[in-house]
Each structure stands twice: as structure tokens, then as C-alpha cells.
């Protein structure tokens, strides 16, 4: 399922990953949630990093000149 929701505020940071609410520092997928951005969650597992994207099938591109008009 991956990342469904990311919530960040001065008081708390958490993500819903595979249907589970996981706070920053929490355990998920055999690793630890060590970072969050607006659209990704970073897990540390066995010394490596795994970046989970909220929308992995969407490729963001800047708008073309024609789309700006």
C-alpha cells in the first residue's frame, strides 16, 4: 500500500504507512521512520535508507510555457 497520509506540524510528525499510523521514530516495515517531507517518508533499515513516495506513479514536471497562459 505504501504511504497514504503524511502529517507534519510543530507538535507532531507522523505518516500512515500500509494502513498503520507511524510516528517519527516509530517502527514500520522492519525499519525505523527517520524522516518525512510533504510527499515522502524515509525509513532506515540495516544501515540503509528507503524512501517511500506518497504518489510514486506521478512524475512532477514544471509547467510548460503553453500551460502558463
Q: What are the pLDDT digits (tens) for 13-69?
A: 999 999 999 999 999 999 999 999 988 999 999 999 999 998 766 666 777 766 555
Residue 3 — very low, low, confident or very high, per pLDDT cuts 50/70/90? very high
5-11 long-range Cβ contacts below 8 angstroms, 24+ apart: 6/36, 6/37, 6/38, 6/39, 6/40, 6/41, 6/54, 8/36, 8/38
> With a threshold of 0.85, does the pTM exceed it?
no
Residues 6+ apart with CB under 8 A from 45: 29, 30, 31, 32
Amino acid at each position: 500500500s505504501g504511504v497514504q497520509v503524511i502529517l507534519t506540524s510543530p507538535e507532531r510528525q507522523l505518516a500512515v504507512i500500509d494502513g498503520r499510523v507511524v510516528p517519527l521514530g516509530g517502527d514500520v516495515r522492519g525499519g525505523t521512520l527517520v524522516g518525512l517531507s510533504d510527499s515522502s517518508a524515509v525509513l532506515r533499515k540495516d544501515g540503509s535508507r528507503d524512501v517511500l513516495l506518497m504518489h510514486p506513479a506521478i512524475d512532477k514536471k514544471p509547467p510548460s510555457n503553453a500551460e502558463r497562459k
